[in-house]
Structure 1
Amino acid sequence: MPHPSAGNLVPIKKYLLTGLLVWLPLAITIWVLLWLVGLLDAIFGGLLTGLVALTPNSAGTLIEPLRHIPGLGVVLVFSALLVTGALVSNVAGRWWLAQWDRLFAHIPVFKSIYNSVKKVSDTLFSSNGNAFRKAMLVQYPRAGVWTVAFQTGTPGGEVAHHLGADFVSVYVPTTPNPTSGFFLLLPRSEVIELRMSVDEALTYVISMGSVAPAVAIELAPKQVSP
């Protein structure tokens, strides 16, 4: 026979879980932001340490207090990105950017890393690119088992020569950590394009299917158009 007080604990557990669901996203968001601020401040502090070592004592005395200003690294990184973006948006800035790329492209070892990262970043963040612009359903890891993936483009070069034109490049993220995953080349006929946005699909993946985006029932899934 259950203890009489057991029934009284049910609402308490329910309220605790509900409160946890309310505060947990906010707490994790704040934790990530604080971690990012701390990381940028640490990097900025390291740069200031090197700068102090290279400057005279009088200049070092003026620079040292900057290390203790919280969030200054974030402000400087944001400002540097904003100013850099503004400068390379004109003809003169693009010319200097080309010289910058040409310089790093001739440094042994360094050029391999720099060129690889640049190609990936240009593909992912370019406003003209197609990477991560579409969410889709693919059969993985075997036929009959479906998962959410993101289109990263279409095959090119030698791969396209062997496969043909009716293939798409997709990224299948892992759950709940979408930063790792698998790269697949699939026929267009075996891929179903989703009407949900990439953000909605990513939330669906991270939540392991527990947070499904609202979609009208009458909408039928459509295949990727050629």
Structure 2
Amino acid sequence: MSEAPKREFLATRIRNNFLTGLIICAPLAITIWLTWSFIQWADSWVNPYIPARYNPEQFLPFAIPGFGLLVAVIFITMVGFLAKNLIGRSIVRFGESILHRMPLVRTLYKSLKQIFETVLNEQSTSFRKVGLVEFPSPGMWTMGFISSDVTGEIAFRLSDTGEEIVTVFIPPTPVPTAGFLLFVPKSKIRMLDMSVEDATKFLISGGLVTPEYGLVPSDSK
């Protein structure tokens, strides 16, 4: 083998090894950086409000990363626990009644509360199913998140179709923060087995990260 092919072969090996290492290290480094940044952000918000006598950083020669985040989690959990009893519910209703009297604040509060209740409600089926719908024209398929059954005036106006109508959110690629909201007959949707998390990865990657899917033969044991 002459010198030129040897150098080309060596350069190819080095490039392939670099790309393999990058695939391994980049996601790990980004995950650690995002996690560390979130912990520092939470600590910077919570630690100033912790009394000095309860803050271990006042007695130790080093800082404790995540202590503020831990305090925030405990505080939020205690608020949720207290809000479930009679006195807590009364306090929450009183606070909400004050917010509802503020013209701009009440709109913002109601919207945010409704979003969090919809997303975090364990009984909700919002964005827990993925399907394919024909969009933007027949014969062209796109992935959408099935949020809920259509109710209210929209369901009444579409009642002449004689079919069950569901709400489908069509996010764009690669940043699924906006999109189209469609009202589609349930019979027109091809449901997928993939989870919402896998579908989100698929969309963000532009179709490069395809979820694994295997069919088990019916005669297999």
Fold-level similarity (TM above 0.5):
yes
Q: Distance in 2 between matches of 1:102 and 1:154?
A: 31
Please, what is the CA RMSD of the aligned residues?
Answer: 2.9
Q: Distance in 1 between matches of 2:175 and 2:120?
A: 20
1:94 Cα shift?
3.3
Q: Distance in 2 between matches of 1:92 and 1:62?
A: 27
1:92 Cα shift?
3.9
Equivalent of 2:175 in 174, 177, 188: 177
Structure 1, gaps ≥5 residues long: 52-58, 220-226
Match of 1:131 in 2: 126
1:204 Cα shift?
1.9
Per-residue Cα deviation, 1:107-162 (whole angstroms, up to 9, x for no partner) = 22100010111112111111111101111112223332222211111222222221
Match of 2:152 in 1: 157
Change in 2 beyond 3 A, CA 1:10/1:128: same
1:30 Cα shift?
1.3
Q: Distance in 2 between matches of 1:167 and 1:2?
A: 68
Match of 2:45 in 1: 43
Number of residues of Structure 1 aligned to a counterpart in Structure 2: 207
Q: Distance in 1 between matches of 2:79 and 2:104?
A: 26
Identity among equivalent positions (%) equals 31
Equivalent residue letter for 1:123:
T
Structure 2, gaps ≥5 residues long: none
Equivalent of 1:98 in 90, 93, 101: 93
Moved over 4 A (4+): 59-63
Q: Distance in 2 between matches of 1:129 and 1:35?
A: 31
Equivalent residue letter for 2:15:
K
1:106 Cα shift?
2.1
Match of 2:8 in 1: 6
SS in 2 for 1:37: helix
Matches within 5 A, 1:1-226: 3-4=4-5, 5-44=7-46, 48=49, 70-164=65-159, 166-217=164-215
- TM-score of the aligned structures, taking structure 2 as reference length: 0.79
Q: Distance in 2 between matches of 1:200 and 1:61?
A: 46
- TM-score of the aligned structures, taking structure 1 as reference length: 0.78
SS in 2 for 1:106: coil
Equivalent residue letter for 1:179:
T
